[in-house]
Amino acid sequence: MGGSTAGGGMLVVGDAMLDVVAVPDGPVPFEPAELDYVEADIELRAGGTGVNLALAAVARGYAPVHLLCSLGAGTGPGGVDPAGAFLLDALAPSGVHPLVNAASGPGTGTVSVGYVGDGERVMFGSPGANRAPLCERAVAAALSALDSCGVLVVSGWMLFRPSTRGAVGLIMSEAAGRGIPVVLDVVPHRLHRTIRATEFHEATGGAVDYVAGNALTFARLFAVDAAGAAPEPMAGRLLGFFTGALVHGDGRYAVAHRTRGARGGPFPRPADRGGLRGASDRLLVSVVGDHFLDGPPDPG
């Protein structure tokens, strides 16, 4: 497994989505009758786990930051559809370098996110182009990007989706062979509905050094009882398979590492509910630098 941090950059392999985010003025009861119509501030954002991780990496000080993602093909700038062009425009000033897999057929993925309570949300998503296989050109670009990167971060959306698993596994194996640490963000949260624990280990064994995810996600996947599903015991359990683990849930997070010990505390929640989108991704990138690896210092 990886152990090198020679490069100062990060390669992220993940999904890219056009986020339509709705944030009401105040909490809304999570009841159908109350959700019939709600006044809210609505904003279009570049989102998806891959985008969130890449933006967090730039803010953390990684350079360069490459993002391998799929967008819907089109006739607009960059050869993508209007939603994809919006994402590229949004990322242009950020410092993220998109490695685009332009997928014909399905359009760029879109998700509608409505925050209805204190952190509670309702999401409706269409993965769109994220489901498309990664073409040889896009994979080759990602492998080339590894030359300048000291860490690879992979979204589980891309690893566990059958259409992209093979190509993503190839990139992970190449990174591991070069001694580049591989970090896996274990999503979707209901992963247990699509794969079994044995499949999880087959997909991650030998290539993944560090994992991060929700405590309930791991508990469902490994059939762990409630006592062992809290972040602290779950992070410790995962050390049986990985060098380090970040687990969050119930307002807390826990980090465990085989040689660097453990730490944890309250989950860092932004004051603005709109900032909750991508909060766990920002925590992951922070932990990669602070606890898993000797990453770039926090510029803030």
| DSSP track, 216-260 | HHHHHHHT--GGG-SHHHHHHHHTTTSSEEEEEETTEEEEEETTT
* Residue 21 burial class via C-beta count within 10 angstroms: exposed 0-12, middle 13-18, buried 19 and up: buried
Q: pLDDT confidence of 136, banded at 50, 70, 90?
A: very high
Average pLDDT score, the chain: 90
Report the alpha-carbon distance of residue 237 to residue 234 in Å, rounded.
5
- Give the type of residue at 120: E
Q: pLDDT confidence of 38, banded at 50, 70, 90?
A: confident
- 261: Cα separation from own chain's centroid: 24
Report the alpha-carbon distance of residue 55 to residue 245 in Å, rounded.
21
DSSP letter for 114, please.
E
Residue 130 has pLDDT above 90, yes or no: yes
* Residue 232 burial class via C-beta count within 10 angstroms: exposed 0-12, middle 13-18, buried 19 and up: middle
Between 2 and 96, residue with greater pLDDT: 96
Give this prediction's pTM: 0.91
pLDDT tens-digit readout, 56-97: 999 999 999 999 999 999 988 889 999 999 999 999 999 999
Residue 260 has pLDDT above 70, yes or no: yes
CATH superfamily of 9-16+47-106+127-208+268-292: Ribokinase (3.40.1190.20)
pLDDT given at position 249: 92
Residue 183 has pLDDT above 80, yes or no: yes
Residue 116 has pLDDT above 60, yes or no: yes
Neighbours of 77 (CB within 10 A): 10
Report the alpha-carbon distance of residue 103 to residue 130 in Å, rounded.
8
Residue 277 has pLDDT above 80, yes or no: no
Cα distances from 166 to residues 7, 29, 175, 177, in angstroms, run: 25, 43, 14, 16
Question: Residue 192's closest CA among 215, 221, 213?
Answer: 221
